[in-house]
Structure 1
Amino acid sequence: MATAWPTIGNHPVPANNTTSLPAPGGNPMNTGAAQPPARAATSLNSTEVSFNPQNQSNPYYLHINENPALELVPFPMDGSNYHTWARAMTMALSCKNKTAFINGAIRKPPEDDLERYMAWERCNNIVASWIIRSLSPTIGRSVLWIDTAHGIWNDLKRRFSKQDLFRIAEIKCEIYQIKQGDNSLNEYFTKQKLMWDELSILRPMVYCDCAVKCNCGKKIDDLNEQLEMDKLSIFLIGLHERYTWARNQIMLLRPLPEVNEAY
């Protein structure tokens, strides 16, 4: 097989370093051997998932029990719970080894590649069916005619993640208003943790990537440490009065514990 010549920019250079000089008439005069045809570019992107539907670790593989009627999450997405739903759905699809069909790692193959196209269409429709079954009827009908699972996923993200600004404000209000009351300590702590976890998804913590800690990185660390102290103080303030003594003892500790340790 002929070896492809190295290139400089977009111009092929013969491997034997033979130079082609222009002839007086303007036509190039080849002093070396005839140039072989350029090697055809590979049709598959090197970053795409390999095609092996018989391998159980391959996203194209479908188990006999995987069918469109499966319900992967225990609650429907109605628009107000998008982030919770998206997290649960991503975990479920990961267990099925099908996240490549929603994150763009697998693209629609050309129809002339019949075997690959048929396998892709089958898996794509399965994943799309799982997503639609996990939506409320109204939202499900609104994405029914989108051809790909990746397109459905992106459409839902564009429509429902835009409410982040208002949801962040709602979460902050809920965090400050939650009190233990007659709930058990476990129930109270779990409610607060759910709120903080959702807030961390909508507004992730910032970290410094510098190899040597810079001044800005130290300030970021201070802000993150203050956030952890806020979690602790809000948790302690909301405790039932029967925990007053324990709360006072925790506040005297130096350094202060994280909220998980305090719980």
Structure 2
Amino acid sequence: MAQEITHSDDSMSSYYIHHSENPGLILVSQLLTGDNFASWYRAMIIALSVKNKLGFVDGSVLKPDNSDPSLLTSWKRNNNMGQTSVSVYFTKLKTIWEELNHFRPQCVCGSCCEGIRKLELHHQMDYVLAFFMGLNESFSQVRSQILLIDHLPSINKVFSMIIQEERQRQFGSQEDDWQGYKSGESICFRSSQGL
């Protein structure tokens, strides 16, 4: 009896993950700056196309339904490969903001402190909006809820709210996997039954 080849085993499939691929893999050596977007974009498109992963980025590889758990698992694995956690994203932004703060005016005379405080509140609002701009669209509902708050919370409070949402999703995803395991939909369970 011939062994069945799955999507994740076929090197021509978008679902195939080579053993050298991982979330930390650098696809292009050129870092994105404001001046080099066109060349960086071309290099990224080529790199993703060669690895047969462009469909996960442009949305042409759609999420499969629950009828094929192994295909759904492969899709999740590939789709999550390019996503950065909220913590990593926030840490990168925070580092940049701290560097920028070294170039902002500091009150040394004691008479301009009120103006500096107002400017700092304005910067906090800018930080929140910049953070929201880089978030995955899946956070649009919680982002909208935060923007409806009368006085926009500080960036640290906003980060806390977003990270809480991310953790709830991870917990929900693990719970779905557990439910599948309990109902006998586990890949390991199904393959052992076929013996």
| TM-score for both structures, normalised by structure 1 | 0.30
- Greater RCO (Cα-Cα under 8 Å, separation 6 or more): 2
Which structure has greater helix proportion? 2
Rg larger in 1 or in 2?
1
| TM-score for both structures, normalised by structure 2 | 0.40
